[in-house]
Amino acid sequence: MAFRTRLRQSILALAISVSLSGNAQSAFYDVVMDTTGLSGSAAQLAVDLVDGDGTVNNTLSISGFTTDGSLGGVTLTGGASGSLSAGAGIADTDFFNEFLQGLTLGNSIRFRLDSSSNLAAGAAVPDRISVFLLDSAGLPLVTTTLLGDALFTLDLDGSADGLLDVTAGTNPPLGLSVKVPDGRAPEPGSDVLLLLGLAFAVAFGKKQVRERG
Ligand SMILES: [Ca+2]
């Protein structure tokens, strides 16, 4: 392969990586559920990641999980992995990816979601995180105002902290708060990549290098 061809391909690859990393964001969401009204119920906590933009470009982790209930088995679908005790994560490797934790509810559930928020250039539909509380048969344990009776959804639209939509009401009542602490920040390294990409583009002046989207 001629050097100039390899160089051109390398620059194009770099330009694409800059385009993807330029809007790389990451944010924490602290979730607190008051499940006192459902204490003793057999339940499943479902954390879903649906790949809306058709590109493998987002991951989330579930950490700091605490409850006074008792944990049951885990069902992993698609890019879900791990466990609440060892560290759980979901990548958008498939269209539907789910971490499903069986448990018997106590008075409270707490955990932290740490998610990237990337949207592929030109994509019309963002990736979406949805969190549900289901019964042991997989049906909604609470009725909410969101699609599929989700407790909250987070659209990974490429903004600093995604588009968070927390349910306006539940039946039976369920105390729920989803807070973004001060820890939000762009992913480390994205600015460095962007500057590196600009330096290459300027140095070689290739017409082929174009920002996507
Ligand atoms: Ca995706």
Q: What is the pLDDT of residues 50-79, one digit of tens each?
A: 999 999 999 999 999 999 999 999 999 999
Cβ neighbour number for residue 15 with a 10 Å cutoff: 20
**Res 194: pLDDT:** 41
Distance 102 CA to ligand 1 centre (A): 26
| DSSP letter, residue 151 | S
* Token output for 20: 């993807």
| C-alpha to C-alpha distance for 40 and 28, rounded to whole angstroms | 29
Which whole number is the average pLDDT over 139-160? Answer: 92
**Domain extents in the chain:** 1-24+188-213, 25-186
Residue 201: φ, ψ to 5°: -65, -40
pLDDT tens-digit map of 156-188: 998 877 888 998 888 888 899 998 776 554 443
Distance 54 CA to ligand 1 centre (A): 5
Range with the lowest mean pLDDT among 2-6, 63-67, 197-201? 197-201
Distance between Cα 49 and ligand 1 center (Å): 9
Say how many C-beta atoms besides its own lie within 10 A of residue 206's C-beta: 14
Task: Find all residues with CB under 8 Å of 11, minimum gap 6, and list them.
Answer: 200, 201, 204, 206, 208, 209
> Given the structure tokens 């019309």, which residue do they identify?
124
* pLDDT score, position 182: 61
User: Do 108 and 35 meet the contact criterion of CB atoms below 8 Å apart?
Assistant: yes
Residues measured by CB to lie within 5 Å of ligand 1, the ion: 51, 53, 55, 57, 92, 127
Tell me the pLDDT band of 26, cut-offs 50, 70 and 90.
Answer: confident
Residue 11 above 80 pLDDT? no
Which of 156, 126, 160 shows the shortest CA–CA distance to 25? 160
Nearest 10 degrees: Cα torsion 194, 57, 154, 185: -30
- Distance (angstroms) between ligand 1 centre and the Cα of 105 equals 32
What separation in Å is there between the alpha carbon of 139 and the centre of ligand 1?
26
Q: What does the chain come to in residues?
A: 213
pLDDT digits (tens, 9 = 90+) for 70-123: 999 999 999 999 999 999 999 999 999 999 999 999 999 999 999 999 999 999
Tokens of 81: 């992995």
Question: Phi and psi dihedrals of 104, rounded to 5?
Answer: -100, 125
32-to-10, 48, 70, 110, 153 alpha-carbon distances in Å = 46, 18, 16, 5, 15
Task: Report, as an integer, the average pLDDT of 31-37.
Answer: 94
Rounded to whole angstroms, how far apart are CA atoms 127 and 54? Answer: 8
- How does pLDDT run across 123-138, given as a tens digit for each residue? 999 999 999 999 999 9
User: Which residue, among 75, 68, 3, has the nearest Cα to 46 in the 3D structure?
Assistant: 75
Q: What percent of the chain has pLDDT over 90?
A: 62
- Confidence check: pLDDT of 3 > 80: no
**Ligand 1 centre distance from Cα of residue 94 (Å):** 9
